Amino acid sequence: MKKKPHFKHNESYKHKYAIDVLEKWIIEFPERFNIDKVLNSDKERKCIMNGFIEFTPDLTIYDKNGIFGMYEVVHTHYLDGYKLAKMQYYFYVHRINVVVFEIEAEYILKQTKCPTKIQAIQMI
């Protein structure tokens, strides 16, 4: 029998709010993110393979060609090699070409409006 953890893992409000702000920016100013038109967005979209959750990006953006990119908003834990490897393998198996961006929550929340150039690290 599998033991239940004593505490439920919750995101910090800072992290959650930064994701909301980033999503709003991308929808309102897609040209600043090199997107023609945003058709849809998903927060915490589970990427499942063989019945198991492989990873859950913070924000997934869709354009006319399908998934445009996935955004990881980092606050206390940055993307590590293990998660990047899982993402790359998932994209390879599903034959999709996706760009993954890492952006700091602190950077997003320090802005008073959407900057003309976004400071993000392109991971894949």
CATH number for the domain harbouring residue 87: 3.40.1350
Give the integer Cα–Cα distance in Å for 84 and 101: 11
Separation CA 8–CA 10 (nearest Å): 6
Are 117 and 103 in contact by the 8 Å Cβ rule? The answer is: no
> Is 10 in contact with 75 (CB distance < 8 Å)?
no
Residue 23's domain comprises 13-122
What is the C-alpha to C-alpha distance for residues 112 and 55, in angstroms, rounded to an integer? 31
Distances (CA, A) of 18 to 45, 52, 53: 16, 27, 24
How many domains does the chain contain in total? 1
7 part of a folded domain: no
pLDDT in single tens digits along all 124 residues of the chain: 555 555 556 678 899 999 999 999 999 999 999 898 999 999 999 999 989 999 999 999 999 989 999 999 998 888 899 999 999 999 999 998 989 999 999 999 999 899 988 888 887 7
- Element (H or E) spanning 16, and its range? helix 13-28
Domain-embedded: residue 1: no
